[in-house]
Amino acid sequence: MIFSLKHFNLTIPRCNSKIIDHRRISPVKSLVLPPVSTPKIKKLSIVSNSKPLHFSSIQNLVCKAYEADRSDGEFVVEKTEAAKRAEIGFYFATWWFLNVIFNIYNKKVLNAFPYPWLTSTLSLAAGSAIMLISWATKVAEAPTTDLDFWKSLFPVALAHTIGHVAATVSMSKVAVSFTHIIKSGEPAFSVLVSRFILGETFPMSVYLSLLPIIGGCGLAALTELNFNMTGFMGAMISNLAFVFRNIFSKRGMKGKSVSGMNYYACLSLLSLLILTPFAIAVEGPKMWAAGWQNAVSEIGPHFIWWVAAQSIFYHFYNQVSYMSLDEISPLTFSIGNTMKRISVIVSSIIIFHTPVQPINALGAAIAIFGTFLYSQSKQK
């Protein structure tokens, strides 16, 4: 064949119907093959009897192939992003559902058995037992830890223990909804501690977002029908303790390769060791035995299920929240935490028929809206 280059187009001339083999068979003769019929191709053929092949035709073909590959790639990316959104949605739905169930059963237990120190201890004990069995049976891979890991975890576990007990004490004295309204003020404690103790600075939008948080919590507290100072202070102490837990966790866990699930499991184990002697000293086995007998006689066997449910669901909702931190950004987690409080407040009001005044509901709405503004402004 002969190729000619003209105006940047490659032209393949027409071919005769005969194809001749030019290899020399002998000095005298050449082998002539019979005519070969070529199939007719409607659009494009490498060797065509009708139209020459130009570079522009090849370019169009390559572009179409590239666009097809790119569209396939974009489809795969969109599919991956959709799967990611579905996974995050599943985490949030599970987290909120488990948290609502825990709060309901926890309040039922505390109404019948007003011993928050033992109730808190049982919650940590259930989670510790679940994870120890999971590690022993290879259902979950046990973490690789050393002494430095447990040293860095100790202040986190101490703050977690204080916050957990304080929140349980609060819910034993006041309505679940009121405890969570006050706990929505945690961002205010976070900013104040970071500013005056750690020396961190924040943009003005962060400070302004604290105004509706503080104002909403104050309005809700002043208009609470069943206000109790112990319950109010328990929620406030829980806020402060969890702020320090987050600070210690960020500082101590840098460079530690432990998954969210195993991290919370280790946190539960260490918190259980810290809490148990204090629970015995504050309340004691004699009070527990008398209170247990009274609760079982009044409620019946259902009380045992309530205790088991609140203990198991406490571990699972915290475990899912720590696992979600491995998959989502802090901003997404903060928004999810705000929505979680709304679900707990609304569900507890409906289930326990908690009387709510309009001014009280307004204070709760303002505080939660301020928490949302805080999570948005913190990321700017």
Q: Quote the pLDDT of residue 253.
A: 62
pTM, rounded to two decimals:
0.75
The DSSP line for 8-21 is TEEE-----S--B-
Q: Quote the pLDDT of residue 206.
A: 87
Tell me the per-residue pLDDT of 198-213, one tens digit each, with 9 for 90 and over. Answer: 888 888 988 898 899 9
Q: Quote the pLDDT of residue 121.
A: 97
Q: Which residues have CB under 8 Å from 237's CB, separation 6+? A: 162, 163, 166
Q: Quote the pLDDT of residue 138.
A: 92
Q: Which residue has the tokens 């406490």?
A: 314
Structure tokens at 29: 């003769």
Tell me the per-residue pLDDT of 272-285, one tens digit each, with 9 for 90 and over. Answer: 999 999 999 999 99
Do residues 117 and 167 touch, judged by C-beta distance below 8 A?
no
Closest CA relative to residue 276, chosen from 117, 147, 132, 107: 117
Rama region for 139: left / alpha / beta (φ>0; ψ in -120 to 50; rest): alpha
Percent helix, strand, coil in the chain, to 5, is 70, 0, 25
Do residues 227 and 233 touch, judged by C-beta distance below 8 A?
no
Backbone angles phi, psi at 226, to 5 degrees: -110, 50
CA distance 131 to 137: 10
CA distance 115 to 118: 6
**Which stretches of the chain score pLDDT less than 70?**
1-79, 252-256, 326, 329-332, 379-380
Q: Quote the pLDDT of residue 274.
A: 97
CA distance 149 to 249: 11
Other C-beta atoms closer than 10 Å to the C-beta of 278 total: 15
The amino acid at residue 338 is T
The enclosing H or E element of 174 equals none
CA-only gyration radius of the chain, Å: 35
CA distance 276 to 274: 6
CA distance 296 to 47: 92
